[in-house]
Structure 1
Amino acid sequence: MLLLATVLLLVEAATAVSPTVRLQYASYEGTALANGVTQWLGLRFAAPPLGNLRFAAPQDPTPEYGVQQADEHGKICLSTAGGPPSNSSDEDCLFLDVYAPSNATRNSKLPVYFFIQGGGFNSNSNPNYNGSGLIMASDYNMIVVNFNYRVGPYGFLASEEVSKGGSINNGLKDQRKASQWVQKYISQFGGDPRHVTMGGASAGAQSVTLHVTAYGGRNDHLFSAVASESQSFPPLRNVSESQFSYNGLAIRAGCASSSDTLACLRNLSATDLQAVNINQPFPGAQQPPLYMYGPTLDYDFISDYTYRAYAQGKFIKVPAIYGDDTNEGTVFAPKNTSSYAESDTFLQNNFPDLTLAQLGKINELYPVEDTPSFPDSSRFWRQVSDVYGEIRYICPGIFVSQQYAKSNIPNWNYRWNVVDPEAAAEGTGVAHTVEVNAIWGPSNVNGNAPASYDPDGVNYPIVPLVQSYWTSFIRSYNPNTYRQRGAPTWEEFSGRNYNRRLMFQTNETEMEGIGRGQQGRCAYLVGIALGLKQ
């Protein structure tokens, strides 16, 4: 009997993973697609964050009996300034999707790409991307996991009341919960929990940096490499500095006179809470920022400002990719900006600790005369977008790569400069995180890819090229191992190649040096970063 049981276990391990996967708390039946990929959609990785679990850390999912059909995405999380719960969004939103080669077995030990979507921590902006394109690009040698996490006040409300009666940074803790789920269960889909690349775009890329520096750089072995697209470094506020947002929400919700304002907020329906879920100006600013809610410097999960954590070496030392787009700020800056006064107001709305002297220096470093003009905007739009793009995205990415190089950790930096004709004509240029459409493949991003990335588009050649680098990094921790034949070597950002990055451009991808002008501007912005709470 013992011999027979052993044989059966060996046979089970050697055969392809069944679409029906049995986890400790539930069984899920996925769908085997015609493209050789099996997908499991809408798997719970945490309990519904409702009732007393609103504003609380994520908890284990409760048991579900019978086989659950995993053929629909879970609802995405409610966004700030968004509508009430709907057919596609809800407060009950902690779901993930798994994509795996249909021929994977429990012995496959395939590399895993764990992707954190963006949205400024106020929305889920990359929901339900299809992992099939990446898996096929890897020659069916990887697994893809993507998921939702709480945003806005549901994920990032911070105050003395929340600290005492709930939890801080719950959106990040949702991400960590999903990561722990991968460690526990991904082997049942054919994945290797010891070979996980944590990736992300925008706020998802900032999340990567915060997991890398979490708890002072403590390594809980949840991932073994990271890949960040347009890592964002907004200001971090501690609990007391975040109190204004809690007070404002409580007042708008009619909870100010309650003896327990947190209980009052928890007792509101999601529809009623959404009606008052809006941005308000930061203290000292004149207008609301782009994103008010976000990660909080709680001196626990986030133990320090991000710049200082990296500078002091308090980060997990694993192979890494960091990079940005040429025109990071164009989709954020107001297109009707028409003066330095309006430019400075926008910057101070989002970085309220900027001083008058600093704004003056920034205007000197970014003269409007150096910017292009477009028919429906003044040059000040591109002037302020250049500042915002470098202060929040580009300069942090370069700085982080420099810290990896100083620690002799293999890392690679890039600049995405793939010009879409329509975006170029509009003036948005090579905009924030546009490369995500090529990395996943234009047919896998819910119709959001530029037309030039489609198979008959002028930029389609860049798609298999970047996918080869990306999947190579996920598979081997080196973007060059399985890169496309004839593709240039992506040189490490190291002491020998300090300040050199790969410039992606259709049919002209090559290594480049970071220009002296950008280096000088970044040197100034990095120098004032701690004062801005970055």
Structure 2
Amino acid sequence: MPMALQYLVRAALCLLFSVGAAVSPTVELGCNKYTGVAKPYGITQWLGMRYAAPPVGQLRFMPPEDTSCNGALQVADTHGKICLETQGDPADNRTSEDCLFLDVYAPTNATSHAKLPVFFFIQGGGFNSNSNPDLDGRGLITASGHSIIVVTFNYRVGPYGFITDGDAITPNNGLRDQRKALEWVQKYISRFGGDPDHVVLGGDSAGAASISLQMAAFGGRDDHLFDAAAAESVSFATVLTIKESQYQYDNLAIQAGCVAANSLACLKSKTAEELQTVNSPIPYPGAAQAPLYMWNPVIDNDIIRDYTYKAFDEGKFVKVPAIFGDDTNGGTIFTPRDTSTLAESDSFLKSQFPYLSLEQLGKINDLYPKQNDTCPSAGCYWRQVSDVYGQMRYMCPGLYISSAMTRHGVARSYSYRYDVEDPAQVAQGLGVPHTVELNAIFGPENLGYAGSAPASYYRNGTNAAVVPVIQAYWTSFIRSFDPNRYRYPGSAIWEVWSERAQDRLLFETGGKTRMELVDDTTRRRCEYFYSIGLDIRQ
């Protein structure tokens, strides 16, 4: 049977995946009851359901707790509030400290016995914001032939999710929120037609970093919360210990006027608006500028027991099929466009990675020469510092994880590079920027609060063709842990990663795909970053 016909037949059969009555829009979740909304395109959505108690008052800065009971039927037709972000506007009514909500999207004709695969997406934002809230699962479900369920959610960020005082505050509560949401999925997703034994983690940027951290959580302990993972632009930031991060707590307490004996009680007594007024980043000790993202997970010898490089090197992670990949120009949206000297480039890097030594900066400068000697002085080093930052923080860590998984016996480890150029982004000098593939994976119409996709991704755009291609790979992986089984007709076979060959799938402009080898220059640069990863606390 021709592959195109196979694809159509499989999509049609997905509509017949089960027998029996469809799941009711009204679901009972313990002592709470929600009713969802059935949409005309065959998907029912439940928006704004609580997966944890409101983390306010005495629960501020504390681990997530179970939701309380609500005897009334709750109509789940509105997204929950977005978690407060670092430097966020205190008057923004779209955000709130009470933000631990999730959304479920499921085929309307799913039954309680359907056991559909579940895609659990962790949004990014550098652990300082919820940068992709309210993503709509419609595009992926439709691309799968209505054969999967999509779950999205908010988790605490900034000081609300990642402050610690070395004493009364449990560290890494943002990661604990994620785990709480995963536990909710294990307990309740079958009531929406989902299979708790077939959960695939998804995530971009800090969401992809969260995937790596959840894989390595508790020393790689497998609590059977997920069964595969697809990570877009995993991020290896500077990871501090509890002691090293104490200056962050101290500064917030000072700025909030909480320098009395019981500073924590004082911080808990403040309104969210009062805290937001002083919720701004400060430099790492010894750095000249504040980092882009100050609040981050810390090593607490509990949920995070070591640096990510070391955890994966030693095989202390949950062994599941996984996709890890990145964009060609992952650093361009972060680095200052007016970087005009090598000194300014080095200063930016030192502000993000304060443990870089002068010798290491010198070696990096050798590995990344200025690309264009004829460029004007203003911004002459923008691409140089962008390449360093993009590969040190995103691309090389992703390649390292792919290799570590292969070394430690994961048979299905896949890697990709996304090189789909949008004309407007190229004209801005951004190239193919950080996590731009999210627009294609979810579909350009389904980005919710995150904003509009580049024009080329919409119908009749120059990159419209990439949308069904990447969605087919992703939904195939979600359904079968194999991106090839239900891939789009004519797209390349996605070969598993080989540490020796270093072969990854290349997404090209216009929806083309092929396998490529990581080039020698990138290999050489990444090898150096691997060698200093522990030194600079990644």
Q: TM-score range by the shorter chain?
A: over 0.9
Q: Does 1:237 align with 2:237?
A: no
**C-alpha distance 399-26 of structure 1, shift in aligned 2 (>3 A):** same
Where does residue 8 of structure 1 map in the other structure? none
Find the aligned partners of 1:507 and 1:320 in 2 and give their Cα distance.
Answer: 22
Equivalent of 1:36 in 42, 56, 60: 42
SS at match of 1:442: coil
Residue pair 2:464, 2:511 contacting (<8 A) in 1 also: no
Where does residue 148 of structure 2 map in the other structure? 142
Where does residue 502 of structure 2 map in the other structure? 499
**C-alpha distance 172-451 of structure 1, shift in aligned 2 (>3 A):** same
Residue pair 2:469, 2:511 contacting (<8 A) in 1 also: no
Q: Does 1:336 align with 2:342?
A: no
Q: CA offset at residue 86 of structure 1?
A: 3.4
Q: CA offset at residue 371 of structure 1?
A: 8.4
Q: Does 1:378 align with 2:384?
A: no
Cα deviation, 1:115-165, whole Å, max 9, x if unaligned, reads: 0000000000000000011000000000000000000000000222xxx22
Residue pair 1:85, 1:270 contacting (<8 A) in 2 also: no
Opposite residue 199 of structure 1, the aligned amino acid is: G
Where does residue 226 of structure 2 map in the other structure? 223
Q: CA offset at residue 379 of structure 1?
A: 2.7
Residue pair 2:457, 2:467 contacting (<8 A) in 1 also: yes
Opposite residue 383 of structure 2, the aligned amino acid is: R
Cα deviation, 1:4-59, whole Å, max 9, x if unaligned, reads: xxxxxxxx992100111111031001000011000000000000000110000000
Find the aligned partners of 2:425 and 2:403 in 1 and give their Cα distance.
Answer: 31
Find the aligned partners of 1:369 and 1:471 in 2 and give their Cα distance.
Answer: 39
Residue pair 1:119, 1:203 contacting (<8 A) in 2 also: yes
Equivalent of 1:317 in 295, 310, 319: 319
Q: Does 1:300 align with 2:302?
A: yes
Residue pair 1:408, 1:494 contacting (<8 A) in 2 also: no
Opposite residue 305 of structure 2, the aligned amino acid is: S
What does 1:85-484 align with in structure 2 at a 5 Å threshold? 86-160=92-166, 164-256=167-259, 258-369=260-371, 378-409=379-410, 410-446=412-448, 447-484=451-488
Q: CA offset at residue 288 of structure 1?
A: 0.3
Find the aligned partners of 2:236 and 2:504 in 1 and give their Cα distance.
Answer: 20
Residue pair 1:48, 1:92 contacting (<8 A) in 2 also: yes
Q: CA offset at residue 507 of structure 1?
A: 4.0
SS at match of 2:524: helix
**C-alpha distance 85-24 of structure 1, shift in aligned 2 (>3 A):** farther
Where does residue 7 of structure 1 map in the other structure? none
Residue pair 1:365, 1:521 contacting (<8 A) in 2 also: yes
Find the aligned partners of 1:484 and 1:253 in 2 and give their Cα distance.
Answer: 54
**C-alpha distance 262-424 of structure 1, shift in aligned 2 (>3 A):** same
Residue pair 2:281, 2:290 contacting (<8 A) in 1 also: yes
Mind listing any 5+ residue stretches in structure 1 that lack a counterpart? 1-11
Where does residue 5 of structure 1 map in the other structure? none
Find the aligned partners of 1:48 and 1:313 in 2 and give their Cα distance.
Answer: 36
Opposite residue 240 of structure 1, the aligned amino acid is: K
**C-alpha distance 377-117 of structure 1, shift in aligned 2 (>3 A):** farther
**C-alpha distance 85-113 of structure 1, shift in aligned 2 (>3 A):** farther
Equivalent of 1:530 in 528, 531, 534: 534
**C-alpha distance 317-397 of structure 1, shift in aligned 2 (>3 A):** same
Find the aligned partners of 1:223 and 1:302 in 2 and give their Cα distance.
Answer: 18
SS at match of 2:89: coil
Find the aligned partners of 2:512 and 2:193 in 1 and give their Cα distance.
Answer: 37
Q: Does 1:514 align with 2:518?
A: yes
Find the aligned partners of 1:372 and 1:334 in 2 and give their Cα distance.
Answer: 19
Cα deviation, 1:101-123, whole Å, max 9, x if unaligned, reads: 00000110000000000000000
Find the aligned partners of 1:462 and 1:508 in 2 and give their Cα distance.
Answer: 7
Q: CA offset at residue 372 of structure 1?
A: 9.2
Find the aligned partners of 1:372 and 1:354 in 2 and give their Cα distance.
Answer: 29
How many pairs were matched up? 517
Where does residue 6 of structure 2 map in the other structure? none
Cα deviation, 1:227-253, whole Å, max 9, x if unaligned, reads: 100000001101100000001000000
Opposite residue 220 of structure 2, the aligned amino acid is: G
Find the aligned partners of 1:372 and 1:58 in 2 and give their Cα distance.
Answer: 55
SS at match of 2:40: coil
**C-alpha distance 315-370 of structure 1, shift in aligned 2 (>3 A):** farther
**C-alpha distance 478-323 of structure 1, shift in aligned 2 (>3 A):** same
Percent identity, aligned pairs only, is 55
Mind listing any 5+ residue stretches in structure 2 that lack a counterpart? 1-17
Where does residue 8 of structure 2 map in the other structure? none
Residue pair 1:402, 1:498 contacting (<8 A) in 2 also: no
**C-alpha distance 354-402 of structure 1, shift in aligned 2 (>3 A):** same
What does 1:13-52 align with in structure 2 at a 5 Å threshold? 14-52=20-58
Q: CA offset at residue 166 of structure 1?
A: 2.6
Residue pair 1:85, 1:91 contacting (<8 A) in 2 also: no
Find the aligned partners of 1:272 and 1:408 in 2 and give their Cα distance.
Answer: 50
TM-score under structure 2 length normalisation = 0.94
Residue pair 1:78, 1:85 contacting (<8 A) in 2 also: no
SS at match of 1:198: strand
Opposite residue 290 of structure 1, the aligned amino acid is: L
Measured on the aligned residues, the alpha-carbon RMSD in Å equals 1.4
**C-alpha distance 71-286 of structure 1, shift in aligned 2 (>3 A):** same
Cα deviation, 1:346-399, whole Å, max 9, x if unaligned, reads: 0000000001111111111000035895x8952300000000000000000000
Residue pair 1:406, 1:494 contacting (<8 A) in 2 also: no
Residue pair 1:353, 1:531 contacting (<8 A) in 2 also: yes
Find the aligned partners of 2:91 and 2:31 in 1 and give their Cα distance.
Answer: 26
Residue pair 1:77, 1:92 contacting (<8 A) in 2 also: yes
Opposite residue 527 of structure 1, the aligned amino acid is: S
Q: CA offset at residue 494 of structure 1?
A: 2.8
TM-score under structure 1 length normalisation = 0.95
